Structure formats: structure tokens, C-alpha cells
Amino acid sequence: MRQILIPICLAIILLVGQQALAADQMEKTKAAEDKAEVLEQKAAAGGSKAHPAPSEVITKAEAQAVDAAGQEPLDEAITCLARTIYWEAKGEEAASMEAIANVVMNRLGQKGFPDTICAVVKQGSEQGACQFSWWCDGRSDDVVNDKTYEIAKEIARQALNRQLADRTGGALYFHLRNVTAGWSAEYIKTVEVGNHIFYKPPDGAVK
């Protein structure tokens, strides 16, 4: 009888531990999503001058708990920003990934752009002319490299926390180096980072 009880007890302990871990992950995810919503609202209202209070800062553990498998719907700030960083600069250095995050955050709340990160990322899809090509290229948006996505989520966390320096000089637009973009002549080139060239409007006006 004792030999039967031991594995049963071990199975119960394991199950309880898994349930506790799942509950902890859900709590961290909820905390991260709630904080991100507040932070994006402040960023949209105050731009780069808006700094979060200590209680509003998203922690590393909280950010990593969000969309752990890289397959969740894109309906909240961290996932939308991290997935954009991931797909626009996958395979590049961290500096390139940070620059993509800069553009999304620079657009947030600007005239001509939406007030939420997900809306910024998805802008133009209703006309079939997405601002970020990965969003409407017809391919799966699920993550295929977990390590790279972890880095993307950490960069997204820093961007939302206003802890990320702007590598782009206030850029609102970018394109790949090997692409000839006719619209680029209307804008001021700010910097080249990795495989991308970044631009901003000459008078601050969005076209």
C-alpha cells in the first residue's frame, strides 16, 4: 500500500506545483498588460517626456510572462510591440531591434497616427497598405525563434518604460537598405541602423 501511495503523493505535489506556477504566470501577465496600457496612454499624451512612476514600471519577469509561446492574438501593447520588433529586425543586432521600437513609440500619439501601439502597428491594413509590412504579408505571425522573441519582449518592455534611448533621432519612418522607397525623398534621413534607413518629416508634419 505504501508503495502505491508514494507515487500518488508525488503526482499530487507535482500537479499543485504546476498549478501554482501557472497562476503566478497569469498574475505576472495581467500586471504587465495593465501597466503597459497605462504607459502607452502616457506616452501617447506626453511623448518621450512621459516617465512612469516606480509602481508603473514593467519588470523583466512580467514582460516575459506575456505571450510566452509567441502565438497569442495581437491585442495588447507588449505583444504588438514585441512582435513588430521581432519580425522587422529578426536576425539583426539589438541596436536594430531598438530602432524599430523607437519608430513605433515615436509614432504613438503623433498627429496622423493612432493612440495605441496595436493600432499604430496595424495602421493601413484596412486599405491593404500596412505601415509595417509583416502585419499584412499573408504569412503566419507566430514566433519561430524563442530566444530572439525574448530579446524583443525585453526591448518592448524598456521602450514602454521609457528606458530606451532613441537611436533614430525622432524618426517616424524607415525602409530596408536594399529597397528604393520613392517617398523617402520627401523626408529627412536621420540615421542608418543595421539593415534599415530611418527618416522624419522635414517640418514635423506627417504626410
What does the pLDDT read at residue 62?
A: 97
Is the pLDDT reported for residue 165 higher than 80?
yes
Q: What is the pTM of this model?
A: 0.86
**Burial (Cβ within 10 Å: 0-12, 13-18, ≥19) of residue 12:** exposed
**β 188-193/173-176 pair status:** unpaired
What does the pLDDT read at residue 154?
A: 98
Q: At 8, is the pLDDT very low, low, confident or very high (cuts 50, 70, 90)? A: low
Is the pLDDT reported for residue 57 higher than 70?
yes
| pLDDT tens sequence across 77-128 | 999 999 999 999 998 999 999 999 999 999 998 988 999 999 999 998 777 6
What does the pLDDT read at residue 172?
A: 96
- Going from N- to C-terminal start, the domains of the chain cover 2-166
